[in-house]
Chains A and B, each alone.
Chain A
């Protein structure tokens, strides 16, 4: 069997699988619509639970988080996105034992800490509150898979941005933004 070494590739059949999916879009680099199709309508969708669907915002966020200043993904960037989604999925699954696509707000706190976003307790509280929703006025707030992916992608994007700007992105680092940069960032989130 011919051996095709890709960077960071452990299993060549997993890589072939992803390569086939990527190549089915017939482009050198895929955009948000391609990525969305791949996530929801190909064999790759089976690697996520029944209640886990992705929307166009997820797609745009993921591309912005990994490809930085361009809005398409090369094949290696696509692989990074898939690996990231799978690691987020695994963490979610630990807290969603009945696989119904929702977790408790405190579970999100645990997950964000284990992803090493280094958020202070008050920031965590703001974030978790923002991404918790109620099914109706009688139920308590929960975090859906959709919102979960949204918050992970946004934090990844913001984290990387701070890293780029300040060199280390630790809680104690500071950086400067012009109003233009800030507005553009907000429009991309």
Chain B
């Protein structure tokens, strides 16, 4: 499902709505206030921090308009992904939907893994993940997969690794 890229005028309007103190750039508080996870509770601050980190090119700790265009696309892509996998339209992704989602990305993981994943990222305690926690979970899986593949270039799903390398690998993970 493709989408026409939004016009600059459209993005400007959104940017100005988010930039409530009119400083010309978006702070993490403003971003957090602007995004919704569908649960009436604040958007996951870890996810906010991560997104600012990803798109804050000039290291100002804030997002200017140019950086915002990329951030907006990123959030929209995740929104589309989330809606696609929220099969029952409940506004949250449960274990079965998560399994379907990750399987479609090519993962073959155990039931135990999915239990752990939900337990780790579900901040609402309902046994499923809202939009913000879904992003957090998927990005963490991407990080782990990349770290793993560093030692598994042929992607056979198995690594044989020495203790030192294993420790370095584990401690390099920022989850």
| A174 engages B117 (CB within 8 Å) | no
Identify the closest chain B residue to A124 (Cβ): B167
| B172 engages A126 (CB within 8 Å) | yes
| B167 engages A127 (CB within 8 Å) | yes
Interface residues, chain B, with chain A CB atoms under 8 Å away: 109-110, 112-113, 116-117, 119-120, 141, 144-145, 148, 152, 157-164, 166-168, 170-173, 175
Chain B residues with CB under 8 A of A42 = none
Interface hub of A170, A178, A186, A188 (most chain B Cβ within 10 A): A186
A144-160 to B contact mask, C-beta < 8 Å, 1/0: 00000000001100100
Query: If A179-B145, A180-B109 touch, does A187 touch B116 (CB 8 Å cutoff)?
Result: yes
Can you give 23 contacting A-B residue pairs, CB < 8 Å? A120-B164, A126-B168, A130-B171, A154-B170, A158-B167, A158-B170, A162-B163, A173-B162, A174-B163, A177-B161, A178-B157, A180-B109, A180-B110, A182-B144, A182-B159, A183-B109, A183-B144, A184-B112, A185-B170, A186-B144, A187-B175, A188-B116, A189-B173
Question: Is A176 positioned at the interface, with any CB of B under 8 Å from its CB?
Answer: yes
**Distance of A76 Cα from B167 Cα, bound (Å):** 29
Question: Is A141 positioned at the interface, with any CB of B under 8 Å from its CB?
Answer: no
Number of interface residues of A (CB under 8 A): 32
Q: How would you classify the secondary structure of chain B's contact residues: helix, strand, loop or mixed?
A: helix
> Measured between C-beta atoms, what is the minimum distance from B47 to chain A in Å?
17
Question: Is A171 positioned at the interface, with any CB of B under 8 Å from its CB?
Answer: yes
Identify the closest chain B residue to A186 (Cβ): B144
Chain A residues with CB under 8 A of B120 = 187
Interface residues, chain A, with chain B CB atoms under 8 Å away: 119-120, 122-123, 126-127, 130, 154-155, 158, 162, 166, 169-180, 182-189
Query: If A126-B168, A178-B157 touch, does A186 touch B175 (CB 8 Å cutoff)?
Result: yes
Query: If A177-B161, A179-B158 touch, does A186 touch B166 (CB 8 Å cutoff)?
Result: no
| B112 engages A171 (CB within 8 Å) | no
Query: If A119-B167, A123-B167, A127-B167 touch, does A189 touch B175 (CB 8 Å cutoff)?
Result: yes
Chain A residues with CB under 8 A of B171 = 123, 126-127, 130
**Other contacts beyond A119-B167, A174-B160: 17, CB < 8 A:** A120-B164, A122-B168, A123-B164, A126-B168, A127-B167, A154-B170, A169-B163, A172-B163, A175-B161, A176-B159, A176-B160, A178-B157, A179-B152, A180-B109, A182-B144, A182-B159, A187-B116
Chain A residues with CB under 8 A of B148 = 179, 182-183
Top 4 nearest A-B pairs by Cβ distance? A187-B116, A176-B160, A174-B162, A179-B157
Identify the closest chain B residue to A178 (Cβ): B158
